A and B are shown apart, each in its own frame.
Chain A
Amino acid sequence: MSDMNHTNDNSAEVTTPAGAGTDVVQSDKFTDPGVPAHRPRLTDVDPRSAKRNERIVTFLFALSCLGAIGTIVAYVAVPPEGSTGSVRLSTLLLGAGMAVSLLGIGIAGIHWAKALMVDTEMVQDRHPIRSSDEVRADAVRDLNEGLEDSGVVGRRGLLKGAALSALALFPLTIAVPLIGSVGGDWNISKFKHTIWKKGTRLALDPSGRPIKASDVNIGSAFHVVPETTEEFRQSHEWITEKSKAVVLMVRVRPEDLKSDQSPEGEQWSYDGIVAYSKICTHVGCPVALYEQQTHHLLCPCHQSTFDVADSAKVVFGPANRPLPQLPIAVDDEGYLVAQDDFAEPIGPSFWERLK
């Protein structure tokens, strides 16, 4: 108890160095009543209760054993046959057995600790974290001795410089080859081009069927990719190219089409059919929710909303720029084709976008 009184003195004396006027004098603090007296549990005073709790703990451990065995039985007896139902059953049984085996141990252990182990609180002293002044002095002396022994104190500037240079340079032997190769060819101008070019037919995603203008009726939405060979569409380059080339094409009544992005003297849409990049100009999600009555195109990721009947201008959300338009025309067989690549980089903004 004397130890505790001492502590109180300490805490009262160092409240704020500023010495707030309201701070109290030592004697004006209440005294610590000390650790509350131990209150005996039922198991401490009633041997029958202790016995009963012991049985509960034993039972829980036994249950855990059964759970573990149950898991092994389920593993052997209920294989997942692949179908939804059988995988679900296998997962459920394996997991239920495992959970019983784990929870059995857990609950038994806790109950044991709470009901049967001695629950008298103990008090131990803390010591300041800082090392004592003597230890600090010794440490400083040891460091100085070490430095002196190494000979770096004073003189030998060249040696120190050389050593530091070597240490600073060696990481470059790893960093330079790594950074040189980690970004592939580092040719970031690829952001500005897609595989669309003059005459590329518009094809359906994912089937790859080319699309005739007459097939696109008012109110419909087509998810479009450039027509390529089946072989290319099974390759990895395709996924990277498709990431930039996907297009959403819709047809609105020509009288509803307020504007598109065609420059003076060009016609980028065809009889109410307009095709816009599907990659959001915000952070690049596929903008795909087309509401045919309002002609709004909504991004499910961050809710940027574009008006396809009005040059794909942003009407809501975090995007800043309209979706780039793919100029389209119809070839002599009636199929929709691109007039050219997009006139600007598709997708999210980047530092060099306009360079």
Chain B
Amino acid sequence: MKALAARRHHRLAPVVLLLLALLVTGGVYAALAPEKAQAETVSTQDIETGKKLFQANCATCHGANAEGTAGVPSLIGVGPAAVDFQVSTGRMPMQMNGPQARVKPRQFDAEDTAALAAYISSLGPGPAIPTDEQVDATLGDAANGMALFRTNCAMCHNAVGAGGALSEGKFAPSLFGTSERNIYQAMLTGPQSMPVFNDANITPDEKRDIVAFLVEQREGSAGGFALGALGPVSEGVWAWIIGLGLLIGAAVWIGAKSS
């Protein structure tokens, strides 16, 4: 301590301080705003990286230039939102053939995903990744979101987003754990069986209302355990197992002779 105090008046001290200040500022900036920095500067280098990643991981199915092959869609013009949705939820790259691609741990980090998105975006324009403001649930109107959700979404995803069945083993996934950004992107791009809901059909504000409605559902039910929010079938199962189970248990106790 004494040594430091003694050198405080060294003539190089201001220079050292300045360097320190610069380092800290840079570090803070790097820590706080890396995504923005990347998202805004799509460099040719990103596109190159993305192309390499694509050719190593995706080209087998989607074709060397993302033009698609038999039964596999072309990715030209799907836009960065589709890439971000498919890759960040782990649906792509697909691990095996099945009725539909399943959610799994993501295989590319944010940087590689952005590079892939940049590459696909360079092939043809498509829906962009929504901004943070576009998916901010606190700015949405949940009441309007519910009105839209039940007309456009609930038939597949269930009234509160618990998911449901489609034909031939396909299904609409539960939305309880889906991020706001992914919900928005799904509407925008219509992944797999899901239809596209473009901005003329459901405007960006309306999409945010839907996000707000879904986020509100995460509070659970005012009635207690939501029992999966699956409707009368799960209620019936619980009535038989818990309700009738308890009552028959009590009846056996009542009928048994005391020892």
Q: Do chains A and B touch in the complex (CB under 8 A)?
A: yes
Total contacting residues, chain A, CB less than 8 A: 45
A290, B190: Cα distance in complex, Å? 11
Task: Please state if B193 and A114 are interface contacts (CB–CB under 8 Å).
Answer: no
The CA of A208 and the CA of B167, in the complex, are separated in Å by 30
Comparing B45-53, B56-64, B112-120, B151-159, the segment that makes contact with chain A is B151-159
Shortest CB-to-CB span from A308 to chain B, Å, is: 11
Query: Is A91 a contact of B200 with CB atoms below 8 Å?
Result: no
| Contact flags A286-299 to B (C-beta < 8 A → 1, else 0) | 10111111101010
Chain B: interface residue total (CB-CB under 8 A): 35
A55 at the interface (CB under 8 A from B): no
Q: Among A43, A84, A223, A291, point to the contact of B152 (Cβ < 8 A).
A: A223
Q: Mark B193-208 against chain A: 1 for CB-CB distance below 8 A, else 0.
A: 1111110110000100
User: For residues 190 through 233 of chain A, which have their beta carbon under 8 Å from a beta carbon of chain B?
Assistant: 204-207, 211-212, 215-223
Task: Give the chain A neighbours of B192 by CB distance below 8 A.
Answer: 293
Contact A292 B222 (CB under 8 A): no
Contact assessment for A300 and B195 in the assembled complex, using a CB-CB cutoff below 8 Å: no
Among the 9-residue stretches B28-36, B130-138, B250-258, the one with 4 or more Cβ atoms under 8 Å from chain A is B250-258
Q: How far is the CB of B203 from chain A (nearest CB, A)?
A: 9
Q: Check A298 against B166 for contact (C-beta < 8 Å).
A: yes
Identify the closest chain B residue to A288 (Cβ).
B155
Given contacts A84-B219, A300-B155, contact A219 B258 (CB under 8 A): no
Q: Is B195 touching A220 in the complex (CB atoms < 8 A)? A: yes
Chain A minimum-CB-distance residue to B73? A293
**Contact partners of B170 in chain A: CB under 8 A:** 291
Question: In whole angstroms, what is the CA distance A206 to B250 when docked?
Answer: 50
User: Would you call B196 and A220 a contact (CB within 8 A)?
Assistant: yes
The answer to whether B164 and A220 touch across the interface, beta carbons within 8 angstroms, is no
Quick check: is B139 within 8 A (CB to CB) of the other chain?
Answer: no
A303 sits at the interface (CB 8 A): yes
B155 touches A222 (CB 8 A): no
From A114, which residue of chain B is reached at the shortest CB distance? B258
Residue pair B253, A110 in contact (C-beta under 8 Å):
yes
A119 at the interface (CB under 8 A from B): yes
B97 CB-CB contact with A under 8 Å: no
* Cβ B219 vs Cβ A211 within 8 A: no
Question: What 6 A-B pairs have minimum CB-CB distances, sorted nearest first?
Answer: A215-B200, A221-B195, A288-B155, A87-B222, A291-B193, A114-B258
Given contacts A219-B195, A223-B151, A289-B172, 17 further A-B contacts (CB under 8 A): A88-B220, A88-B222, A110-B254, A119-B257, A206-B151, A215-B201, A216-B200, A217-B196, A220-B190, A220-B201, A221-B197, A289-B155, A289-B156, A290-B195, A293-B192, A296-B167, A305-B167
